[in-house]
């Protein structure tokens, strides 16, 4: 166990990654469980690799978020979640409940907003706390600082890359705090955030690197090429909307204190029974070894 380490799981990011990365399979009764298996595998891998003292999960709710209200096209190009994926969400929640891992959500916001707000609240309670976000979505790179890292699933659900400030700089040439304005320019096709048409990833990175932020780019717009000036002027409103959509909320009023997330005992036999029912026999071998009697085990 790593003392003073909080690991926060972005549930939907991992569920969707698992659903698309793994071949579908079902229980003997025909219940689809591929995404549940991938999520559980990633969860166990993160626990084993990161060894947190504290562990919690942020999850999306099925209702529209404030981003959908601000921009009707937000994620509009995405097809509704397939029925066989939606049917697996309650099973993911059952897995988490069986492990005694707390789950947090807030209507109108996404799991990453919840996670960011939990981190903000926890850092105010413990200045030495190390926070690691486990996700399959690089949006959370904007949250990285001297206390926060992002453990992003790079391939499937069993390989991951740890991002700190240096890793973000190495990949994008930017600081984490510049990531929102970077997305404001280049957009984000996966979320249907428009950005500025005609400015791609390299162009956005170059502009942000030179002028530091979106506001400063517009203050110095006359220094840019005629082509860039035209693009930026014609899409100014869209650029600042994209900035707003890209920024993760960090101050949601969530009833939470760090001690709520302290890793504690779970019922090994109960988890084993659930995994057998779901056909996850290979994961049973990966469950943490017993540290207590009466079938009670700790996650570490």
Question: Quick one: the chain helix, strand, coil %, rounded to 5?
Answer: 50, 15, 35
200 and 289 assigned to the same domain: no
pLDDT (0 to 100) of residue 295: 59
Indicate the pTM of the whole model.
0.93
- The closest of 96, 113, 107, 54 to 257, measured between CA atoms, is 54
**Residue 114 gets which letter from DSSP?**
H
Range of the domain at 7: 2-169+249-298
Q: How far apart are CA 162 and CA 151, in angstroms?
A: 4
Alpha helices in the chain (DSSP H): 11-21, 34-50, 66-70, 83-86, 89-98, 111-125, 165-172, 179-186, 201-211, 214-219, 226-234, 236-246, 268-278, 281-284
Q: List per-residue pLDDT tens for the chain, 300 residues long.
A: 888 999 999 999 999 999 988 888 999 999 999 999 999 999 999 999 999 999 999 999 988 899 988 888 878 777 778 899 999 999 999 999 999 999 999 999 999 999 999 999 998 888 899 999 999 889 999 999 999 999 998 766 667 899 999 999 999 999 999 999 999 999 998 899 999 999 999 999 999 999 999 999 999 999 999 999 999 999 999 999 999 999 999 999 999 989 999 998 899 999 999 999 999 999 999 997 644 444 567 777
96 and 196 assigned to the same domain: no
206 and 88 assigned to the same domain: no
100 and 36 assigned to the same domain: yes
pLDDT (0 to 100) of residue 292: 40
106 and 160 assigned to the same domain: yes
Can you give the CATH number for the domain in which 236 is found? 1.10.150.20
Q: How far apart are CA 17 and CA 7, in angstroms?
A: 19
Helix (H, G, I), strand (E, B) or coil at 175: coil
93 and 207 assigned to the same domain: no
160 and 292 assigned to the same domain: yes
Can you give the CATH number for the domain in which 265 is found? 3.40.50.1010
* Phi (first) and psi of residue 157, to 5 degrees: -130, 10
* Number of independent structural domains in the chain: 2
239 and 271 assigned to the same domain: no
141 and 74 assigned to the same domain: yes
Q: Give one word for 6, left, alpha or beta, with left for phi > 0 and alpha for psi -120 to 50.
A: beta
231 and 208 assigned to the same domain: yes
259 and 128 assigned to the same domain: yes
142 and 288 assigned to the same domain: yes
pLDDT (0 to 100) of residue 102: 96
80: Cβ–Cβ under 8 A, 6 or more apart, which residues? none
Q: How far apart are CA 99 and CA 97, in angstroms?
A: 5
């Amino acid at each position: 166990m790593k003392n003073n380490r909080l690991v926060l799981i972005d549930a939907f990011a991992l569920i969707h990654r698992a659903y698309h990365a793994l071949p579908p399979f079902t229980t003997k009764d025909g219940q689809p469980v591929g995404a549940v298996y991938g999520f559980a595998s990633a969860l166990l891998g993160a626990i084993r690799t990161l060894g947190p003292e504290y562990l919690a999960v942020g999850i999306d709710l099925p209702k529209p978020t404030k981003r959908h209200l601000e921009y009707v096209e937000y994620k509009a190009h995405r097809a509704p979640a397939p029925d066989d994926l939606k049917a697996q969400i309650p099973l993911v929640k059952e897995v988490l409940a069986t492990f005694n891992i707390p789950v947090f959500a807030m209507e109108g916001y996404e799991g990453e907003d919840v996670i960011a707000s939990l981190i903000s609240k926890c850092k105010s309670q413990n200045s030495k706390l190390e926070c690691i976000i486990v996700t399959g979505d690089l949006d959370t790179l904007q949250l990285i600082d001297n206390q926060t890292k992002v453990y992003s699933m790079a391939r499937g659900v069993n390989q991951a890359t740890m991002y700190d400030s240096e890793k973000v700089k190495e990949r994008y040439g930017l600081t984490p705090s510049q990531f929102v304005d970077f997305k404001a320019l280049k957009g984000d096709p996966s979320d249907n955030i428009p950005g500025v048409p005609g400015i791609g990833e390299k162009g956005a990175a170059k502009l942000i690197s030179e002028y530091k932020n979106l506001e400063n780019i517009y203050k110095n717009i006359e220094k840019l090429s005629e082509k860039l000036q035209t693009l930026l002027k014609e899409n100014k409103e869209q650029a600042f909307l994209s900035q707003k959509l890209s920024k993760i909320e960090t101050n949601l009023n969530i009833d939470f204190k760090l001690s709520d997330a302290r890793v504690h005992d779970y019922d090994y036999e109960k988890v084993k029974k659930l995994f057998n029912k779901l056909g996850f026999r290979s994961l049973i071998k990966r469950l943490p070894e017993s540290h207590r009697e009466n079938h009670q085990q700790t996650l570490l």
